[in-house]
Amino acid sequence: MRLIGLTGSIGSGKSTVAQRLRELGVLVLDADEYAREGATALKAEICRAFPEVCREGAIDRAALGRRVFADPEARRRLEALLHPYVRRRMREETEKALSAGQKIVVHDIPLLFETGREADFAGVLVVAAPTELRKARVMARSGLSEAEFNARDQSQMPQEEKVRRATWVIWNDADQETLRERVDAWYREVAR
């Protein structure tokens, strides 16, 4: 089995690339999905650490996002709670895939480089796009302000550094069909 990391800066199109890989039959494990699962499983711990973002025992995800992206120390505390859970779940699912004979497994991890995970993979695929295009996508899809986009983007490793450290880069600077063609070409290369 070939284990590949997938990452990209906010708004780069990483989720679109992951979806196309799924369409091609690749098992893609999404760290964000396991983080949402972990937030539910660890709700009591998160509410103890961040009582100001919990209402009637439920986490206000928008308030939590504002809190942790405005305060690097708060973000580190949240990551210390969630990251071990996410890693354990991804390891469990990877072991199942190995037992099932899966040829390629992709770990979709937004903070792959930031968490020092690149050595865990046979290679890392980075999805990249111009900053202004990423900003426009994020503001259109999620309603974040420009300041909120900038805070989230600046909380991650600069895109240029991700591209420098990548094994492969797919640029998402054109239309959806072009991106699809680029993903398909990458897949043909790695599936050989």
Q: What CATH number does residue 12 fall under?
A: 3.40.50.300
**Model confidence at 150: pLDDT above 90:** yes
Q: What are the beta bridge partners of residue 108?
A: 6, 30
**Model confidence at 36: pLDDT above 90:** yes
Contact between 185 and 150 (Cβ < 8 Å): no
**Model confidence at 1: pLDDT above 90:** no
Which of 134, 106, 127 lies closest to 170 in space, CA to CA? 127
**Residue partners of 121: CB distance under 8 A and separation at least 6:** 3, 4, 5, 107
Domain residue limits at 70: 2-191
Residue matched to tokens 């599936």: 191
Can you tell me the mean pLDDT for 21-39? 96
Instruction: Dump pLDDT digits (tens) for 77-88.
Output: 999 999 999 999
What separation in angstroms does the CA of 146 have from each of 73, 130, 132, 142? 22, 15, 10, 11
Q: How many domains does the chain have?
A: 1
Q: What are the beta bridge partners of residue 166?
A: none
Determine phi and psi for 38, rounding to 5 degrees.
-65, -35
d(CA 97, CA 27) in angstroms, rounded, equals 8
pLDDT band at 159; cut points 50, 70, 90: very high
**Residue partners of 62: CB distance under 8 A and separation at least 6:** none
Arithmetic mean of pLDDT over the chain? 95
**Model confidence at 57: pLDDT above 90:** no
